[in-house]
Structure 1
Amino acid sequence: MIRLCVLPRLVLLFAAAILSVAVGCSSAPKSSSAGSKSLSGTDEQIFMGDTIEKNYDPNVIMKRAEAFFEKEEYPEAVIEYQHFLDLHRVHVLASYAQFKLGESHFKMKKTADRDPEPVYRALETFEKLRKDFPGSQYDGDAVDRIHACHNMIAEAYYLIGQFYYRREAYLAAAHRFEAVTKQWPEMDVAGEALYYLALTYSDLGADDWAREKLTVLAERYPNNKFRAESKQLLARLETRQPAMAVAMTGVSSNGASSNGASANGAHALNGARPHSPSPPTVSPVSALRDANGVSPAPRTFLCRLGIWC
């Protein structure tokens, strides 16, 4: 009788133990999934909702900006960093926000042959950082970024000049090459731009200007990569100058008789009144004047190259 009473109790205890183990195993994954869900929600909660605190709280705005920056979503990061600066210009993190704003613009740049607008915006932002937050801990990095921006802008001008040069638009090409040599003479492409400027002047027939630029190139950038090409170009210019001088001498010696003969021929054929040839001392500008002393409109080849007309 006693054994019959003990047996059901043992069965119940064994069943209770199995049930407790099964409940424990089934509840463990639920708690871990709930914990992971709360962890993922921690990063996303700064993007959800439209409360006043989330729109104006500096910590929340900075967290959003940093999250976008880490995801390389730079246009969104620019908006958030600028929003932070608009609301909290005197905050302790204002200089950091200004620096990261410039970094976001800088990282939006593509190659040098693409739109340089992000580089211009980055340059403006870094210069504003040095102006509004002088002596900040980001000042040294801002100086390096400013130099990199100038280098990229100079390279963009140089590539545009090469584009025009290949299409034989020499005035437009010379304008870009000269801009590089004058505005960014310390940049990496300045020596190459100076060589192409001399080459462009040579193609335009301005040999004196071409020789001058080659001289400056040898003095200022002695280790430029166009040293051999510069010497060859200078040699061609030197050989072309005596030939041009001989041609001009022949024209000046035969000019009077030729002009007289052509004038008499025109008088004989057309019945027009003859005119005396211009004396050798007359300047080219006065020689272009008509019978009434009025100068005609200047022609394209008379325009001075440096004016970029």
Structure 2
Amino acid sequence: MKKHTLSGLLALSVLVGCSSSDEVVPDVPPSELYSEAQVALQSGNWLSAISQLEALDSRYPFGAYSDQVQLDLIYAYYKNDDLALGLATIERFTRLNPTHEKLDWVLYMRGLTHMAQDRNFMHDLFNIDRADRDPEPVKKAFADFKRLLERYPTSPYAEDAQKRMYALKNRLAEYDLATADFYLRREAWIAAINRAQELQKTYPDTEAARKSLDIQLEAYKELGLTDAIERTEKLMELNPR
């Protein structure tokens, strides 16, 4: 019974993911089409909004609504989890509008989109925390938010970007901790120590850094390195969990 339920859920997710191109958009004036797209956006009807905005973008690529259409598409793609399309639209917009007044928002949305790539449908569905999954999207999101703070420190999105960087830093630290633990379980003592120490150096103010001292201590004990064991125990006293 569970297998059938899971199959049904997966089939539904495929259908939802493929349905955005099914809607036929009537050939109406661009102003009318844009108004309809705005109504769809405001009501959260992302599929309809995307269909209408894509039609505007393809039919009137240099029209009066061109820039705003692309900005709206970036947002709609993000909300609809069309993340690859969102990133492609962000890159296109940035390339064509290097001095646009809303580039801070575009950079912010790129960070959010990269963050969303760290999600996984099955992990969300079953509330599974996988600290060992590929952190590359997280690194990209962190770089996006860092760039936003450097280029646009007074942006209205700067404060939220900074908060997200803190969460992303902890996510990256947890990944390094999971890697160090993997090495420890494989009895690769030196590799476990190196990863733990790299974590402590890169993310010193995280809970994962403190946890990595346990891994480091166990590896040193397995190697019989008395001085290193004592140094690690002192570090653990100075950094209680």
Whether 2:194 is the aligned partner of 1:187: answer: no
CA distance in 1, matches of 2:197, 2:212: 7
Partner of residue 66 from structure 1, selected from 70, 75, 81: 75
CA distance in 2, matches of 1:52, 1:190: 50
CA distance in 1, matches of 2:155, 2:52: 32
Q: Which residue of 1 aligns with 2:233?
A: 214
CA contact (8 A) 2:78 2:86 kept: yes
Q: Which residue of 2 aligns with 1:93?
A: 102
CA distance in 2, matches of 1:177, 1:55: 55
CA distance in 2, matches of 1:138, 1:64: 19
SS of the residue 1:145 aligns to:
helix
Matched to 1:130, the amino acid is L
CA contact (8 A) 1:177 1:197 kept: yes
Distance 1:128 1:54, change over 3 A: farther
Partner of residue 154 from structure 1, selected from 164, 168, 173: 173
Calculate the TM-score normalised by the size of structure 1.
0.56
Whether 2:85 is the aligned partner of 1:76: answer: yes
Q: Which residue of 1 aligns with 2:140?
A: 121
Q: Which residue of 1 aligns with 2:151?
A: 132
Distance 1:55 1:210, change over 3 A: farther
CA contact (8 A) 1:46 1:54 kept: no
CA distance in 2, matches of 1:61, 1:54: 12
Report the alpha carbon displacement of residue 179 of structure 1 after superposing the two structures with TM: 0.9
CA contact (8 A) 2:60 2:66 kept: no
Report the alpha carbon displacement of residue 50 of structure 1 after superposing the two structures with TM: 5.0
Report the alpha carbon displacement of residue 90 of structure 1 after superposing the two structures with TM: 2.2
Structure 1: state its 5+ residue gaps.
1-37, 225-309
Q: Which residue of 2 aligns with 1:202?
A: 221
Report the alpha carbon displacement of residue 141 of structure 1 after superposing the two structures with TM: 1.0
CA contact (8 A) 1:54 1:60 kept: no
Structure label with greater radius of gyration:
1
Q: Which residue of 1 aligns with 2:53?
A: 46
CA contact (8 A) 2:131 2:175 kept: yes
Structure 2: state its 5+ residue gaps.
1-32, 41-47, 120-129
Report the alpha carbon displacement of residue 45 of structure 1 after superposing the two structures with TM: 2.7
Report the alpha carbon displacement of residue 51 of structure 1 after superposing the two structures with TM: 4.2
Calculate the TM-score normalised by the size of structure 2.
0.71
CA distance in 2, matches of 1:114, 1:55: 43
CA distance in 2, matches of 1:195, 1:165: 11
Report the alpha carbon displacement of residue 102 of structure 1 after superposing the two structures with TM: 0.4
CA distance in 2, matches of 1:56, 1:76: 19
CA distance in 2, matches of 1:59, 1:119: 28
CA distance in 1, matches of 2:179, 2:64: 44
Distance 1:197 1:96, change over 3 A: same
CA contact (8 A) 1:129 1:139 kept: yes
The C-alpha deviation readout for 1:202-246, integer Å capped at 9, x for no partner, is 11111210111111111122xx2xxxxxxxxxxxxxxxxxxxxxx
Report the alpha carbon displacement of residue 160 of structure 1 after superposing the two structures with TM: 0.6
| Identity across the alignment (%) | 25
Report the alpha carbon displacement of residue 107 of structure 1 after superposing the two structures with TM: 1.2
